[in-house]
Structure formats: structure tokens, C-alpha cells
Structure 1
Amino acid sequence: MDIELAVDAMLLAEHVDHLVLFSGDGDFRALVEAVQRKGRKVSVVSTLQTQPAMVADELRRQADFFIDLATLSGKIGRDPHERTVRAVDRGPAVDDNDDED
């Protein structure tokens, strides 16, 4: 999967001004650098809030911008109470995955 992401990012870099990478994997540092050499900005979205941090320090430093997921929780996260209520409203879980085809 890492190779596919890197190939896609390099292809997309020809058509975008700014790439956003949702990963903390330090193996992507070279990819970020390669995209930057093409004159593109790169944001890395991951978190420093866990122990250990889920973002490699070298990836965070290479990025033009680092966005901690914790700062996005109010914008993209659900209210925990809402999740509980919705789960109760749905009733028992149903497995729609029919593997008998």
C-alpha cells in the first residue's frame, strides 16, 4: 500500500499545489521531500497526543505544515453522546456481507 500511495502522490503532484498526507510513517519522508522538490507544499496530518507519538519526527520536520488530529476533533469528530444514541437507535447489528455469492 505504501508504494501505491507514493506512486499516486507523485502523479498527483503534477496537478496540485498542495498535498495532504494522513500518515505518521517516517518512510514517507522521502516522498514528502520529492513532492516538495516539484514545488508543491505538503501537509502531514497525524498526532503527537499518543505515547509514543504516532508521527515520526523526521516526517513532521520535513512537512511544510503539520496538523495534529487532536486539533481537528471538534471539526471532524462526533459528539460521543451522539454516537451512543445512534448505536442504540439502530438496534442489533446486521451483517450485510453475503459471502455466499
Structure 2
Amino acid sequence: MLIYPDERLAVFIDGANLYATARALEIEIDYKALRAHFAEQSRLVRTFYYTAILEDQEYSPLRPLIDWLDYNGFTLVTKPVKEFTDEHGRRKIKGNMDIEIAVDMLNIAENVDHIVLFSGDGDFRRLLEAVQRRGVRVTVVSSNSTQPSMIADELRRQADQFIDIVDLAPIIGRKGPRRQHHAHYDEREETTREFEDAED
């Protein structure tokens, strides 16, 4: 990954998208190592993490991770998920964070030289183009190693560079036994699938 030491860098993590990609690759993300890696490579300005949460649950399986990130140098952006019933009577959950990511990225673009986006969502192509026109380089981190691919072709083409999570796994993958505040991932599987279905 080409990051210059004097670059002001901002990292944007689409939580649900990164979760789905990492799960497909059977990688557990070590967020402490992730942040440390980019802080060592550049002048890290901000690390954003975006996710929608179920507020009506007595206990959210996502809460331990959110709390940990909040206390460890990440800027958390959350909002309640929206529940609705589709035409077949099935309960669906919608938790799209695209607008929040776009607004924050455009706002910070004037104060950074490089942005790293953890997402493979093709809807971000125009956002990347807008940021690049402001003179900011953009790296997209997702995966082309899954079936189907998690990275939209148009997003990969727009990015200044593309990094497959598989190549970053030795650096940002968790080693050893799973830690308690990350153990919620399996519980979140169904919610994440419903997010994806609702956003299609």
C-alpha cells in the first residue's frame, strides 16, 4: 500500500460492509492493529467507524465493539436501524450509512491528503470522484478473493489504489483466541444479511 509518511490520512470504515467481507474470508478484524498500522504509515487525522444499531433491544451484540472503539481513538457514527415489513410480510431491517459517510468524507477532504475507505459498495464511486477532484488520493480496501467479489468493479476502477483485505490480513487480522468484545460477530450475522437485503 502506497502511503507517504507526511500525508494527512483519514480512514473510513463501513462497518456492515467490512463485517460481511471479513466474515466471507473468515478473518476477524483487530481494530487496534488496524488503527496502529495507519498511524505508523502516515499522519493519521481521524478513523471513522459507521454502523446502524438496533436500539429497541435490551442488549445489542454490537455494543461491546462500539464501546471499545469509542474509547480507543475511533470516531463512532451510529444511527438506529429502521424496521419495516416487505410486500411478502417479512420483517426487514434497513441500516444504510452511505449519506453519513459521504457527508463526513466531503467535509474532511480539505484537511487531508489521502483517504482510505473500507467498503466495496459501488454507490461510493461518485463520492470518490468528488473527493479526488479536491486533490485527495483515495485507497479502497475490500476483497476480490470472495465468490462473488465484494468489491464493485466501478469502485475499484475509480480508486487510486485497491487493496485486498487478504493482503492486509497478516497486519489487521486477529491472532490467537477470540476476545470477548468481538464475540458478537456470529450473533450479528442475521442482522447484517437483512441490512444487505434491504439495501439492494
**TM-score interval, normalised by the smaller of the two chains:** 0.7 to 0.9
2:140 aligns with 44
Q: C-alpha separation between the residues in 2 aligned to 1:83 and 1:32?
A: 37
Q: C-alpha separation between the residues in 1 aligned to 2:120 and 2:177?
A: 27
Structure 1 gap ranges (5+): 88-101
CA deviation profile, 1:58-100 (whole Å, cap 9, x unmatched) = 1001000101000001011123xx126x67xxxxxxxxxxxxx
1:83 aligns with 177
Q: Secondary structure at the match of 1:53?
A: coil
2:122 aligns with 26
Cα RMSD, aligned residues only = 1.3
Amino acid at match of 1:67: I
1:94 aligns with none
Structure 2 gap ranges (5+): 1-96, 181-200
Correspondent of 2:157 among 54, 61, 72 = 61
Amino acid at match of 2:170: G
Identical residues among aligned pairs (%): 64
Structure having the higher strand fraction is 2
Amino acid at match of 1:76: I
TM-score, normalised to structure 2's length? 0.41
Task: Give the number of equivalent residue pairs.
Answer: 84
- Runs (4 or more) in structure 1 with deviation over 3 Å come to none
TM-score, normalised to structure 1's length? 0.79
Larger Rg: 1
Q: Secondary structure at the match of 1:13?
A: helix
**Larger RCO: 1 or 2 (CA < 8 Å, sep 6+):** 2
